[in-house]
Amino acid sequence: MYVTDGRNPFYDDPINYGEQFVLSCAPSSLLRSVPKYVNGVVALSWSRLAFPRQITFPSVADKFGLCLPSSSSKTAPGALFLGDGPFYFSPFPNLDLRTILSYTPMVRKSSKSLGYYVKLNGISIKGTHINLKAKSMRLSSVVPYTTLRSDIYKALVTAFTKATKNIPRLNAVKPFSLCLKASAMGSIQKGFRVPRIDLETESGKVWMISGDNSMKRTGNGVACLAFIDGGLGVKDAIVMGTFQMENNFLFFDLENQKLGFSSSLLARGTTCSSFNFTFTQ
């Protein structure tokens, strides 16, 4: 863990980040399900034992920024920042990412709930509106693709199918149900040229999911709508997965219980792998 001014990490004297910091050793068998080069797991939840909340260094506010890299690259790093910022990514040395964020309240389902939730009023796709009546959406760093209760999933797929009616369909590739011909979609800076999926948050701000976060390449010229049918009996009606978070800067303000989100950074000419990790003195 390094100290940063928001632009680069830099060398500094050792800092006491917290007293009685709680860690746990675990047998290697518990790491079988994680990627090859992962050496451990860190918690980012509301729990007082979660990594960001154990940091007691005075200048580190009860806030953290998370930027997940594209899963299509096995080497590109993402970034996790503890504290209030600022946050600068190449090639824009003077653009603090905090200035481009939209905010919506975070909610807790109960005092024992450790997950991060925001409320959605609806989903819109090219003029088709899906009314969600303030359904809670949980953000997950474990679930790979956004998972929806069956009725919401079917409404989403129906709306997206209508919006992409001129793009040839191909056989579905599990676990997805709607797959399209990749070459027929074309591509732009934000990924495939497909209609945007707008998540309408409680605050009225829109979290825009563009082609790079909605369509997953599965090989052989196929790209699939990267949302999953979770069934009718799911605990949470909507769980946002990591694929939809890739190259989105998320700012968890635990102090004020609100979430800042950027939508895709690709539209702004940068990515979650663009933080400059070159050390400065």
| CATH assignment of the domain containing 159 | 2.40.70.10
Does residue 128 form part of some domain?
yes
221 assigned to some structural domain:
yes
Residue 126 reports pLDDT greater than 70: yes
Q: Between these two residues, 61 and 274, which has the higher pLDDT value?
A: 274
Q: Decide if pLDDT at 56 tops 70.
A: no
pTM for the complete prediction?
0.91
Residue 275 domain flag: no
pLDDT over threshold 90, residue 277? no
6: pLDDT strictly greater than 90: no
- Which range of residues forms the domain containing residue 162? 3-268
Residue 281 has pLDDT above 70, yes or no: no
With respect to residue 59, please indicate whether it lies within any of the assigned structural domains. yes
Does residue 217 belong to any structural domain of this protein?
Answer: yes
224 domain-assigned:
yes
What mean pLDDT comes out for the span 85-100? 93
When pLDDT is cut at 50, 70 and 90, the band that residue 19 belongs to is: low
Q: Quote the pLDDT of residue 150.
A: 97
With respect to residue 274, please indicate whether it lies within any of the assigned structural domains.
no
pLDDT above 70 for 59: no
- What integer pLDDT is reported at residue 21 of this predicted model? 76
Q: How many domains does the chain have?
A: 1
What are the tokens at 189? Answer: 């800076």
